Amino acid sequence: MSSLAVADDEPDNWRGRSLSPMPQSVPELADVDPQKVRLGEMLFYDPRLSKDNSISCASCHNLSNGGVDGRTKPIGIDGQEGSVNTPTVFNSTYNFTQFWNGRAESLEEQASGPVHNPSEMGSNWAEVVAKLNRDPFMTNAFQATYDAEISAENIVDAIATFERTLVTVDAPFDRYLKGDMTAISPQAANGYALFVSYGCAACHQGVNVGGNMYQTMGAMEDYFKDRGDVKDSDMGRFQVTGREQDRFVFKVPSLRVAALTAPYFHDGSAKTLNDAVRNMAKYQLGREIAENDINDIVAFLESLAGEYKRFDPQ
């Protein structure tokens, strides 16, 4: 596998929380403010964040569907199609940056993106705040939670706080890592060994089995030449930094709930996990993987999906 694609002026913490060479189990949920979580959940489902009151965060990040919409590209206001595949919101707190091109450094910063994107929610904070201020329930909720009026800062803080509770726990693979050798099937266990030996774990690692580094899409073979029809959305980090070495560079996606989030890649071009593994082998590893090995790796990936337990402070 090629070396990581990193701009010379990337900050020292570009690597995120850690670069463990192996997947790690999901830790216990960190302490969060229950009032902020409840308010953030309401806002996550509130279509008033969009210009025409038709799109909420949950419209694209469906929590009953792996935190995605299941589309190749999302649909925003007025039926507009987005430019990249919707990443899952589950376990996004463990990503070192947000969005495929890493343009948001925090969940708070990410929450502003779709609101202002003309092909997604197509609104702005002034419009959103004005609408929410006409709702006595919401004004009271913000006053009770923040001891303040509704503001953009408090909206994104509440949404981000809620999103930090969107973690999946007790995956079969996590139980396996903790010593329960019967938690996953022999096929999945072999798939894990293959995942490591083929080099997949060089990029898909840590708690989120990804999400903590950047890599070139097509590190070993020219993915975009083969696919054709290259668009601005294919430029990856180049859209953020303008540096040539960041062209086609993307944040490595998490595989934690990959079994639930088809289709795959920033362009949604891989329709199944088997397709995704096969293509990654060709374009990122520069090799072919036998179909039996692909099936075993997919069994391992399926064991990564844990359970989402709605935050319910007692």
The reply to whether 57 sits in an annotated binding site is yes
The reply to whether 61 sits in an annotated binding site is yes
The reply to whether 22 sits in an annotated binding site is no
Closest by CA position to 50, among listed 123, 112, 119: 123
Closest by CA position to 152, among listed 120, 106, 118, 108: 108
| 185: its two tokens | 């099937």
Q: 260 with 305: CB under 8 angstroms?
A: yes
Residue 41's SS3 state is: helix
The reply to whether 266 sits in an annotated binding site is no
Point out the catalytic residue in the list 41, 108, 120, 302. Answer: 120
Q: 92 with 240: CB under 8 angstroms?
A: no
Q: 45 with 57: CB under 8 angstroms?
A: yes
What distance in Å separates the CA atoms of residue 139 and residue 84, rounded to the nearest whole number? 35
**C-alpha neighbours within 13 Å on the C-beta side of residue 44:** 26
DSSP string, 197-230: HTTGGGTS-BTTTS-SSEEETTSSS-HHHHH---
The reply to whether 280 sits in an annotated binding site is yes
| 249: its two tokens | 């560079």
DSSP string, 137-163: HHHHHHHHHHSS---HHHHHHHHHHHH
What distance in Å separates the CA atoms of residue 53 and residue 247, rounded to the nearest whole number? 36
The question of whether 120 is a catalytic residue gets the answer: yes
The reply to whether 220 sits in an annotated binding site is no
DSSP 13: G
The reply to whether 200 sits in an annotated binding site is yes
CB proximity list for 38: less than 8 A, separation 6 or greater = none
Annotation: binding site for heme c = 57, 60-61, 200, 203-204, 280
Annotation: binding site = 57, 60-61, 200, 203-204, 280
Active site residues: 120
